[in-house]
Amino acid sequence: MEILTREDLLNLRFFAIKFHSRIARNTYEIIRTTFRDELQLLTTHRLHRRLCLLSGITPRIHDCCVNSCCAYLGEYKDQEQCPWCNEPRFGHDGLARKTYVTYSLEAQLKEWFHYPQSRDLVMYRAGLLKEPDPITIRDVHDGLHAQEVRAQHIYLDGIPLPHIPFSDDRDLHITISTDGFQTFKRAHHGSFSCWPIIGINQNLPPEIRIHIENLIPLGLMPGPSQPKDMDSFLVPLHDDAWRLARGIEAYDCETNSKFKLHAYVLTASADMQAAKHLSGMKGPNALSPCRICKLRGVYYAERRRYYYPLDTPHDKPSPAHRPATYNPRNLPMRSDNDLPEILRKIDLAPTLGEKEQIAKENGIVKRSIFTKFPCGSWTKGYPHEYMHLVFENIVPMLIALWKGDFREVDHSSQGYVIPEATWKVIGQEGVESIKTIHSGFCRALPNIYTHQTLFIAEAYAFWFLHLAPILLKHRFPSPVYYKNAMKLIKIINTCIQYEITWSEVDDLETEIINWVVEFEK
């Protein structure tokens, strides 16, 4: 192990100050050059290289398409031009025209056991499971998917690996997450400039596991276009996951000895647009978009998209591909066993048109690389991401409906439309109410009437859960819509509890079904 010099310690301490206080690079350079006679500080480039050498966490550079269609890994590793856009892989100088970076998951996970403080934090999962509570879901580790994984071997080429997942208290539970991200809004005119891939260490206590210092950087898929084949960018992570399932050598500071560290990527977190790339499905506007159930949509030609009501609208004939009504208590569910059969039918179809028809009916494009991870599951591996589902979709769409702005729907004389003059009052009252609420609960909120476009998920959550019950009372022409909104707030508050019992889950299912049925009416 390399010995740290006095210069190393000085630079590491200053890097910690720079990181935690968000000092800009230009500011750092001004400090470095101003005090160069007293402090021998490295440039940011040299500092990052030195940190990589000291930590053992070095960037891995891979070739990718110049338009970010795919990475030249896996089935594309020997390709010299992109199979999607036909752009050449190499320039005239013989070098790749574009590259992307990944970081080793193995190297980053080993670090948690090197120091007593971080080791104590990652033992949270083990401490939780040593005091089982069969009637309460306290964390993701009490979920059915995690329980199933803990009870079985992992098979590689038909041979079981000797280690049963999570049989060692030090085994780690990892979730990966990705989404398109705009770093330069004007430069890219709204398109994504990159797709970061991060890991979440679920062994940490829930109150700190998504703090920025605890997130695990795994890679950065470059933009500006979204990948055509995201699987190819995940090949390094897939290889890391299998090495971690077999076990890697790590050092435990508690026992002062080496041990076999195992870690398992159980789930991937993403909104539906990103999840379609991760899951190999067609996405949110497909005939059958859900990765959990087989509910099929009703096509609206005027909007050129599918909608997914339980009951087929009266003005739409029931399509042959779906029943007139779905029973919400008995939806047709997907199974991991369905996937191989669907893919086999696609492969055996004699024409491209038939292949596309089978894929369309089942909402499938291909088998995702994530299902080839050691604990990968097609139906359980991509849980619906709550922030986007509720606070970026349902709540904003309800507000648009109540404003009479939802799509091209005729809202005239509807009991759910709150008059514009009333919305002006609601918006101003919301702004005024924030002035009397401690900033520890919520940052300043924009006016919901004049500046709704500035609302983010956090703002929607606070406004809807804490302000709407007061601001919307007696505002609807028909009070039934206020009652419907309050039922949704009750559902959301139950969902975001730190703990929930299995009986509460059953009650929650009933409340959600009743709310959806009532809303459709």
The beta strands (E) that lie in 308-364 are given as none
| Range of lowest pLDDT (61-75, 80-94, 212-226) | 212-226
pLDDT digits (tens, 9 = 90+) for 11-44: 888 888 887 788 888 888 888 889 888 888 888 8
Could you tell me if residue 377 is inside a domain?
Answer: no
Q: Indicate if 245 and 109 belong to the same structural domain.
A: yes
Whether 373 maps to a domain, the answer reads no
Residue 244 lies in a domain: yes
pLDDT at 320 over 80: no
Cis peptide before 222 (omega within 30 of 0): no
Percent of the chain with pLDDT over 70: 96
Give the DSSP H or E segment for 99.
strand 99-102
> What residue numbers bound the domain in which 443 lies?
386-520
pLDDT range class, residue 188, cuts 50, 70, 90: very low
Among 271, 289, 309, the domain boundary falls at 271
Q: How confident is the model at residue 249 (pLDDT cuts 50, 70, 90)?
A: very high
What's the mean pLDDT in 355-382?
A: 88
Q: How far apart are CA 212 and CA 219, in angstroms?
A: 15
What are the phi and psi torsion angles at 511 (to 5°)? -65, -40
Rounded Cα gap, residues 287 and 358, in angstroms: 11
Q: Is position 375 within any domain? A: no
Least confident of 41-55, 319-333, 360-374, 425-439: 41-55
Contact 199, 266 (CB under 8 A): no
Is the same domain home to 322 and 265? no
Give pLDDT, residue 21.
82
SS (H, E, C) 439-478: CCCCCCCCCCCCCHHHCCHHHHHHHHHHHHHHHCCCCCCC
Residues 298 and 420 in one domain: no
Place of tokens 């990765």: 291
Note the pLDDT of residue 493.
96
Which residue is it, tokens 């909007």?
303
Looking at the domain assignment, is residue 164 inside a domain? yes
Cis bond leading into 134, ω under 30°? no
H-helix or E-strand spanning residue 514 = helix 502-520
Whether residue 496 lies inside any domain: the answer is yes
- On whether both 135 and 38 belong to a single domain, the answer is no
Same domain, yes or no, for 46 and 74?
A: no
* Terminal CA-CA length for the chain: 68
Of the residues 234, 250, 271, which one is the last residue of a structural domain?
Answer: 271
Provide φ and ψ at 287, rounded to 5°: -60, -40
Q: Are residues 424 and 484 in the same domain?
A: yes
51 and 64 assigned to the same domain? no
Is residue 69 located within the same domain as residue 186?
yes
Helices then strands, counting H and E runs in the chain, come out as 20, 14
Whether 102 and 182 share a structural domain: yes
Residue 190 confidence (pLDDT) above 60: no
Cβ count within 10 A of residue 67: 19
The verdict on 89 and 195 lying in the same domain is yes
Distance (Å, whole) CA 99 – CA 62: 5
pLDDT 10s digits, 399-430: 999 999 887 778 888 899 999 999 999 999 99
317 band by pLDDT with thresholds 50, 70 and 90: low
- 193 belongs to a structural domain: yes
| Nearest partner of 178 among 194, 189, 160, judged by Cα | 194
Last residue of a domain, one of 338, 367, 396: 367
Q: Are residues 33 and 108 in the same domain?
A: no
Please give the average per-residue pLDDT across 84-113, as a whole number: 94
Mean pLDDT of the region 234-260: 96
pLDDT of 467 strictly over 90: yes
Q: What is the DSSP letter of 164?
A: P
- For the chain, the domain total comes to 4
The sign of the torsion formed by the CA atoms of 409, 281, 70, 347 equals negative
374 lies in some domain: no
CA gap 240, 206 in Å, rounded:
24
Is the same domain home to 101 and 236? yes
365 contacts 339 by C-beta, under 8 angstroms? no
